Structure 1
Amino acid sequence: MSFRPPKTLPILSIFHNGNIKRSRTALDLLKKRASQKNGNDAYRIDIIDSQPPTIEQLRQVASFLPHQGKGESSWYQMVQQPDKLQDWSEIAQKIHEEPSLLTRPIVVDWSNGKAAINDNDIEKLINERVQTKD
Protein backbone atom coordinates (compact mmCIF):
# COMPACT_ATOMS: atom_id res chain seq x y z
CA MET A 1 0.00 0.00 0.00
CA SER A 2 1.39 3.39 -0.92
CA PHE A 3 0.55 6.78 0.39
CA ARG A 4 0.52 10.01 -1.47
CA PRO A 5 2.24 12.84 0.36
CA PRO A 6 -0.07 15.71 1.21
CA LYS A 7 -0.26 18.42 -1.39
CA THR A 8 1.37 21.64 -0.24
CA LEU A 9 -0.22 24.99 -0.82
CA PRO A 10 1.44 27.53 -3.08
CA ILE A 11 3.00 30.50 -1.30
CA LEU A 12 2.25 34.12 -2.08
CA SER A 13 4.79 36.39 -0.45
CA ILE A 14 4.27 40.04 0.25
CA PHE A 15 7.14 42.44 0.78
CA HIS A 16 5.18 44.52 3.26
CA ASN A 17 5.38 47.75 5.20
CA GLY A 18 2.56 48.22 7.69
CA ASN A 19 3.09 51.98 7.62
CA ILE A 20 2.01 52.17 3.98
CA LYS A 21 -1.73 52.12 3.31
CA ARG A 22 -1.34 50.38 -0.08
CA SER A 23 0.66 47.64 1.60
CA ARG A 24 -1.95 47.13 4.33
CA THR A 25 -4.69 47.02 1.68
CA ALA A 26 -2.76 44.41 -0.34
CA LEU A 27 -2.21 42.27 2.75
CA ASP A 28 -5.91 42.48 3.65
CA LEU A 29 -6.82 41.40 0.12
CA LEU A 30 -4.38 38.48 0.30
CA LYS A 31 -5.90 37.34 3.60
CA LYS A 32 -9.47 37.75 2.38
CA ARG A 33 -8.93 35.83 -0.85
CA ALA A 34 -6.87 32.98 0.68
CA SER A 35 -10.01 31.16 1.85
CA GLN A 36 -12.13 29.62 -0.86
CA LYS A 37 -15.89 29.08 -0.83
CA ASN A 38 -15.37 25.36 -0.16
CA GLY A 39 -13.45 26.17 3.03
CA ASN A 40 -10.03 25.21 1.68
CA ASP A 41 -7.15 27.65 1.41
CA ALA A 42 -5.99 28.65 -2.07
CA TYR A 43 -2.51 29.62 -0.89
CA ARG A 44 -0.34 30.42 2.12
CA ILE A 45 0.77 33.96 2.82
CA ASP A 46 4.39 34.74 3.62
CA ILE A 47 4.76 38.26 5.05
CA ILE A 48 8.24 39.71 4.60
CA ASP A 49 8.38 42.94 6.54
CA SER A 50 11.37 43.19 8.82
CA GLN A 51 14.04 41.15 7.09
CA PRO A 52 15.77 42.78 4.11
CA PRO A 53 15.53 40.76 0.89
CA THR A 54 18.64 39.04 -0.34
CA ILE A 55 20.12 40.07 -3.66
CA GLU A 56 19.08 36.68 -5.06
CA GLN A 57 15.47 37.26 -3.93
CA LEU A 58 15.55 40.68 -5.56
CA ARG A 59 16.90 39.18 -8.80
CA GLN A 60 14.17 36.57 -8.86
CA VAL A 61 11.39 39.06 -8.09
CA ALA A 62 12.68 41.38 -10.83
CA SER A 63 12.57 38.50 -13.30
CA PHE A 64 8.92 37.85 -12.33
CA LEU A 65 7.77 41.46 -12.79
CA PRO A 66 6.28 42.45 -16.13
CA HIS A 67 8.29 45.02 -18.10
CA GLN A 68 6.54 48.38 -18.03
CA GLY A 69 7.95 50.07 -21.09
CA LYS A 70 9.95 49.32 -24.17
CA GLY A 71 13.43 48.42 -22.99
CA GLU A 72 12.74 49.51 -19.40
CA SER A 73 14.05 47.11 -16.80
CA SER A 74 11.67 45.80 -14.16
CA TRP A 75 14.34 46.68 -11.60
CA TYR A 76 13.36 50.33 -11.76
CA GLN A 77 9.85 49.48 -10.49
CA MET A 78 11.31 47.93 -7.35
CA VAL A 79 13.11 50.96 -6.00
CA GLN A 80 12.07 54.41 -4.89
CA GLN A 81 14.14 57.15 -6.55
CA PRO A 82 15.26 54.97 -9.50
CA ASP A 83 16.59 57.94 -11.46
CA LYS A 84 19.57 58.17 -9.09
CA LEU A 85 20.71 54.61 -9.91
CA GLN A 86 22.43 53.38 -13.06
CA ASP A 87 21.80 49.65 -13.49
CA TRP A 88 20.27 46.55 -11.92
CA SER A 89 23.34 45.63 -9.87
CA GLU A 90 23.46 49.09 -8.33
CA ILE A 91 19.71 48.96 -7.61
CA ALA A 92 19.98 45.51 -6.00
CA GLN A 93 22.90 46.58 -3.84
CA LYS A 94 21.17 49.80 -2.78
CA ILE A 95 17.93 47.98 -1.83
CA HIS A 96 19.90 45.34 0.04
CA GLU A 97 21.78 48.03 1.99
CA GLU A 98 18.72 50.24 2.54
CA PRO A 99 15.57 48.05 2.49
CA SER A 100 13.38 51.12 3.05
CA LEU A 101 14.05 52.04 -0.62
CA LEU A 102 12.21 48.91 -1.79
CA THR A 103 8.85 49.80 -3.28
CA ARG A 104 6.13 48.14 -1.23
CA PRO A 105 3.98 46.23 -1.48
CA ILE A 106 5.35 43.65 -3.86
CA VAL A 107 3.36 40.41 -4.05
CA VAL A 108 5.14 37.33 -5.42
CA ASP A 109 3.64 34.06 -6.61
CA TRP A 110 6.73 31.86 -6.54
CA SER A 111 5.02 28.82 -8.12
CA ASN A 112 3.75 30.70 -11.15
CA GLY A 113 6.81 32.93 -11.46
CA LYS A 114 4.87 36.18 -11.24
CA ALA A 115 5.18 39.35 -9.19
CA ALA A 116 3.11 42.52 -8.96
CA ILE A 117 3.54 45.98 -7.50
CA ASN A 118 0.58 48.12 -8.46
CA ASP A 119 -2.91 47.54 -7.07
CA ASN A 120 -4.50 46.26 -10.29
CA ASP A 121 -1.66 43.83 -10.98
CA ILE A 122 -1.72 42.55 -7.39
CA GLU A 123 -5.44 41.85 -7.64
CA LYS A 124 -4.95 40.14 -11.01
CA LEU A 125 -2.13 37.96 -9.60
CA ILE A 126 -4.34 36.90 -6.66
CA ASN A 127 -7.29 36.19 -8.98
CA GLU A 128 -5.11 34.00 -11.19
CA ARG A 129 -3.88 32.04 -8.18
CA VAL A 130 -7.40 31.55 -6.78
CA GLN A 131 -8.72 30.42 -10.18
CA THR A 132 -6.01 27.78 -10.53
CA LYS A 133 -7.05 26.34 -7.14
CA ASP A 134 -10.85 26.25 -7.70
Structure 2
Amino acid sequence: MSFRLNFAQPILTLIYNPTCSKSNKVLSILHEALEKRPGVFKLDLLDYQKQPPTKDQLTNIINYLNLENDLNQILRNENVAAEGTTKVKGPSSIQELANLVKEQPIRLQRPILVDWNNGRAIIARPPEKAGGFLKDLGYLND
Protein backbone atom coordinates (compact mmCIF):
# COMPACT_ATOMS: atom_id res chain seq x y z
CA MET A 1 0.00 0.00 0.00
CA SER A 2 1.32 3.41 -0.86
CA PHE A 3 0.10 6.82 -0.03
CA ARG A 4 0.96 10.37 -0.81
CA LEU A 5 1.03 13.13 1.74
CA ASN A 6 -1.04 16.14 0.81
CA PHE A 7 1.42 18.73 -0.36
CA ALA A 8 0.30 22.23 -1.09
CA GLN A 9 2.58 23.70 -3.70
CA PRO A 10 3.63 27.22 -2.68
CA ILE A 11 2.43 30.00 -4.95
CA LEU A 12 4.68 32.92 -5.83
CA THR A 13 3.06 35.83 -7.58
CA LEU A 14 5.08 38.25 -9.66
CA ILE A 15 3.28 41.56 -9.95
CA TYR A 16 4.94 43.01 -13.00
CA ASN A 17 4.86 45.01 -16.19
CA PRO A 18 5.79 42.86 -19.21
CA THR A 19 7.39 45.88 -20.92
CA CYS A 20 9.66 46.66 -17.95
CA SER A 21 13.22 45.33 -18.19
CA LYS A 22 13.50 44.90 -14.41
CA SER A 23 10.26 42.91 -14.34
CA ASN A 24 11.50 40.69 -17.16
CA LYS A 25 14.83 40.13 -15.40
CA VAL A 26 12.97 38.93 -12.28
CA LEU A 27 10.79 36.70 -14.44
CA SER A 28 13.95 35.22 -15.94
CA ILE A 29 15.37 34.56 -12.45
CA LEU A 30 12.13 32.80 -11.47
CA HIS A 31 12.14 30.64 -14.61
CA GLU A 32 15.79 29.70 -13.96
CA ALA A 33 14.88 28.68 -10.41
CA LEU A 34 12.06 26.50 -11.72
CA GLU A 35 14.40 24.89 -14.24
CA LYS A 36 16.80 23.99 -11.42
CA ARG A 37 14.05 22.76 -9.09
CA PRO A 38 10.91 21.98 -11.11
CA GLY A 39 7.71 22.20 -9.12
CA VAL A 40 9.28 23.82 -6.05
CA PHE A 41 6.69 26.59 -6.39
CA LYS A 42 3.89 27.56 -8.73
CA LEU A 43 4.47 30.84 -10.54
CA ASP A 44 1.54 33.20 -10.91
CA LEU A 45 1.98 36.29 -13.10
CA LEU A 46 -0.07 39.42 -12.54
CA ASP A 47 0.22 42.18 -15.13
CA TYR A 48 -0.90 44.94 -12.79
CA GLN A 49 -1.79 47.29 -15.63
CA LYS A 50 -4.41 44.85 -16.93
CA GLN A 51 -5.51 43.55 -13.54
CA PRO A 52 -4.43 45.66 -10.57
CA PRO A 53 -4.05 43.89 -7.23
CA THR A 54 -7.23 43.84 -5.17
CA LYS A 55 -7.63 45.65 -1.88
CA ASP A 56 -7.18 42.35 -0.02
CA GLN A 57 -4.04 41.51 -1.99
CA LEU A 58 -2.64 44.99 -1.35
CA THR A 59 -3.45 44.67 2.35
CA ASN A 60 -1.48 41.44 2.58
CA ILE A 61 1.41 42.78 0.51
CA ILE A 62 1.62 45.93 2.64
CA ASN A 63 1.70 43.75 5.76
CA TYR A 64 4.32 41.40 4.27
CA LEU A 65 6.49 44.41 3.36
CA ASN A 66 5.87 46.03 6.74
CA LEU A 67 4.78 49.29 5.10
CA GLU A 68 1.65 49.93 7.14
CA ASN A 69 3.03 53.28 8.34
CA ASP A 70 4.14 54.54 4.92
CA LEU A 71 1.97 53.41 2.03
CA ASN A 72 3.90 55.71 -0.32
CA GLN A 73 6.80 53.24 -0.31
CA ILE A 74 4.83 50.88 -2.53
CA LEU A 75 4.31 53.67 -5.05
CA ARG A 76 6.72 54.85 -7.70
CA ASN A 77 8.14 58.34 -7.42
CA GLU A 78 5.73 59.80 -9.96
CA ASN A 79 3.95 61.59 -7.12
CA VAL A 80 4.99 65.05 -8.23
CA ALA A 81 2.42 67.10 -10.07
CA ALA A 82 2.98 68.15 -13.68
CA GLU A 83 4.23 71.57 -12.60
CA GLY A 84 7.05 69.82 -10.79
CA THR A 85 6.59 71.79 -7.59
CA THR A 86 3.48 70.52 -5.86
CA LYS A 87 3.51 67.10 -4.24
CA VAL A 88 0.42 64.98 -4.68
CA LYS A 89 -0.93 63.71 -1.37
CA GLY A 90 -0.26 60.01 -0.94
CA PRO A 91 -2.84 57.46 0.19
CA SER A 92 -3.68 57.41 3.88
CA SER A 93 -5.48 54.07 3.84
CA ILE A 94 -5.40 50.75 2.02
CA GLN A 95 -8.71 51.67 0.37
CA GLU A 96 -7.20 54.90 -0.98
CA LEU A 97 -4.16 52.94 -2.15
CA ALA A 98 -6.38 50.36 -3.89
CA ASN A 99 -8.36 53.14 -5.60
CA LEU A 100 -5.16 54.88 -6.71
CA VAL A 101 -3.64 51.67 -8.09
CA LYS A 102 -6.88 50.91 -9.92
CA GLU A 103 -7.02 54.41 -11.46
CA GLN A 104 -3.28 54.79 -12.09
CA PRO A 105 -1.70 51.32 -12.07
CA ILE A 106 1.61 52.65 -13.41
CA ARG A 107 2.17 54.26 -10.00
CA LEU A 108 2.63 50.86 -8.31
CA GLN A 109 6.23 49.81 -7.65
CA ARG A 110 7.39 46.96 -9.83
CA PRO A 111 8.26 44.19 -9.81
CA ILE A 112 6.78 42.87 -6.57
CA LEU A 113 7.35 39.22 -5.71
CA VAL A 114 4.92 37.69 -3.21
CA ASP A 115 5.10 34.33 -1.44
CA TRP A 116 1.54 33.93 -0.18
CA ASN A 117 2.27 30.71 1.72
CA ASN A 118 5.09 32.18 3.81
CA GLY A 119 3.59 35.66 4.08
CA ARG A 120 6.60 37.38 2.55
CA ALA A 121 7.10 39.87 -0.25
CA ILE A 122 9.79 42.05 -1.76
CA ILE A 123 9.96 44.91 -4.17
CA ALA A 124 12.55 43.36 -6.47
CA ARG A 125 14.58 46.44 -7.30
CA PRO A 126 17.25 45.67 -8.22
CA PRO A 127 16.06 42.41 -9.83
CA GLU A 128 18.87 40.41 -8.22
CA LYS A 129 17.00 40.70 -4.92
CA ALA A 130 14.66 38.00 -6.27
CA GLY A 131 17.44 35.39 -6.17
CA GLY A 132 18.22 36.17 -2.53
CA PHE A 133 14.52 36.06 -1.72
CA LEU A 134 14.21 32.59 -3.28
CA LYS A 135 17.27 31.39 -1.36
CA ASP A 136 15.93 32.78 1.91
CA LEU A 137 12.69 30.90 1.35
CA GLY A 138 14.49 27.67 0.48
CA TYR A 139 13.26 27.55 -3.13
CA LEU A 140 16.72 27.98 -4.58
CA ASN A 141 19.95 26.36 -3.55
CA ASP A 142 23.35 27.98 -3.98
Which residue in the other structure is 1:88 paired with? 93
Indicate yes or no: 2:34 matched with 1:29.
Answer: no
How many residues were matched structurally? 127
Q: Tell me which residue corresponds to 2:11.
A: 11
Structure 2 match to 1:62:
62
Aligned partners of 1:47, 1:34: CA distance in 2, in Å? 14
Give the CA deviation at 1:79: 1.2
Offset at residue 93 of structure 1 (A): 1.9
Instruction: Spell out, residue by residue over 1:49-103, the C-alpha distance to the aligned partner (whole angstroms, 9 max, x if none).
Output: 1311111111111111145xxx952x22221235621423322320122222111
Report if aligned partners of 2:13, 2:114 keep a CA contact under 8 Å in 1.
yes
Matched residue type, 1:7: F
Q: Matches of 2:23 and 2:91 in 1, distance apart?
A: 27
Letter in 2 for 1:88: S
> Which protein is richer in helix relative to its size?
1
Choose the corresponding residue for 1:126, options 115, 122, 134: 134
SS in 2 for 1:96: helix
Once residues 98 and 88 of structure 1 are traced to their aligned partners in structure 2, the CA distance between those partners, rounded to angstroms, is 16
Shift in Å, 1:109: 0.6
Distance 1:122 1:40, change over 3 A: closer
Alignment partner of 1:111: what SS?
coil
CA change 1:48–1:111 in 2 (3 A) is same
Q: What is the DSSP-based 3-state SS (H/G/I as helix, E as strand, rest coil) of the residue aligned with 2:8?
A: coil
Q: Pick closer, same or farther for the CA change 1:66–1:124 going to 2, 3 Å.
A: farther
Q: Hey, what's the Cα distance between the residues in 2 that align with 1:26 and 1:33?
A: 11
Partner of 2:82: none
* Structure with bigger gyration radius: 2
Give the 3-state SS of the residue equivalent to 1:35 in structure 2: helix
Q: Distance in 2 between matches of 1:115 and 1:108?
A: 4
Give the TM-score normalised by structure 1.
Answer: 0.78
CA RMSD of aligned residues (A): 2.5
Unpaired runs of 5+ in structure 1? none
Distance 2:140 2:29 in 1: 17
CA contact (8 A) 2:134 2:140 kept: no
User: Would you say the 8 A contact 1:16–1:47 is kept in 2?
Assistant: yes
